[in-house]
Amino acid sequence: MGEQIAHQLRLEIITGAIADGTHLAEDALATRFDVSRGPVRDALRQLETEGLLEARRKRLYARALGMDGVEELYALRQALESLAIRLAIENASAKEWDALQEVVDRMRAAGEAEDVQMFADADMEFHTAFYIYSRNRRLLEAWKPYQRTFAILFEMSDTPDIPAATDDHQGFLDIVRTGDADAAVKRLHLHLTLAKGHVRGVLRDGRAAGDAD
C-alpha cells in the first residue's frame, strides 16, 4: 500500500499536479487514500529519499523536478550507468548477455503488439541489468531509488517509436557484447542525451500550456 501511495504522489509531484512547495501532511493523505498513517509515512519516507520531498521544520514539502532537476537526474544516471556498464563488461557471462538479448526481443514484440507498457517494462529491465551484472551491490542500491522516477518520466513522454527504440537498444547491446567499454559508454551518453532532450521538451510544453491557461 505504501508503494502504491508513493507511486501516485510521485506522479503528481513530477507532473506538477502537486505544486512545488505544497505541504504533504500525513493525516490529510491518510484520509485521502483511506489508510492508516503507517503506509503514508512509508510513502513519504521513500519520496524524500528520491529527492521529491524536502524536510523543513519537521514538515515535508513537495519538491518540483524542473529543468535543473532533470539535468541533475540524467547527470547522476550517466555517472552510475557508465560505471555499471564497465563493470558488467568485465563480469557478465555470455548466458547473461543472452538473457539481455531476450529483453530486447521482448521490446520488439511490444512494438508488434503496440504495447507501450510492455516496452517500458523491458526498457527498465534492460538498463537495470547492467547494474545487476556489475556485481557491485552498492552500485545497484544507488540506482534503485531513481528507477521509479525514470519510469514516471517515460510515462510522461509521448508514445515512443517502439521499433526505432528497439533498434537503438539492439545496437547498444551489440556494442556492449564486443567488450569495448569506451564505445559502450559513448553510446550510453548519446542514448541518455536524446532521452533527456525529449523529457525536457515534454516538461517545457507542459509549462507553456500551464502559462497559457
Q: Looking at the predicted structure, is the pLDDT value of residue 210 above 60?
A: no
CB atoms under 10 Å from CB of 67, counted, come to 12
Q: Helix (H, G, I), strand (E, B), or coil: what is residue 90?
A: helix
**Per-residue pLDDT tens digits for 79-97:** 999 999 999 999 999 999 9
**Per-residue pLDDT tens digits for 137-156:** 999 999 998 998 988 887 77
pLDDT top residue among 65 and 40: 40
Q: How many angstroms separate the CA atoms of 10 and 141, rounded? A: 19
For cell 501516485, the residue is 8
CB atoms under 10 Å from CB of 94, counted, come to 8
For the entire predicted model, the pTM comes to 0.85
Mode of pairing for the β-strands spanning 59-62 and 53-56: antiparallel
Q: Looking at the predicted structure, is the pLDDT value of residue 6 above 60?
A: yes
> Burial, 47: exposed, middle or buried (Cβ in 10 Å; 0-12, 13-18, 19+)?
buried
* Interval 169-192 mean pLDDT: 96
Q: Which amino acid is at 121?
A: D
CB atoms under 10 Å from CB of 75, counted, come to 12
Q: Looking at the predicted structure, is the pLDDT value of residue 213 above 70?
A: no
**Per-residue pLDDT tens digits for 12-58:** 998 888 999 999 999 999 999 999 999 999 999 999 988 899 999 88
Per-chain mean pLDDT for the chain: 90
For cell 517545457, the residue is 204
H or E element that contains 53: strand 53-56
What one-character-per-residue DSSP string does 171-203 give? Answer: HHHHHHHHT-HHHHHHHHHHHHHHHHHHHHHHH
The cell numbers describing 184, all together, are 559502450
Predicted local confidence at residue 177, as pLDDT = 97
Q: Running DSSP on this structure, what letter comes out for residue 20?
A: T
Predicted local confidence at residue 208, as pLDDT = 43
Predicted local confidence at residue 91, as pLDDT = 98
The cell numbers describing 21, all together, are 512547495
CA atoms within a 13 Å half-sphere pointing along the CA-CB vector of 6: 22
Q: How many angstroms separate the CA atoms of 206 and 139, rounded? A: 33
The cell numbers describing 29, all together, are 493523505
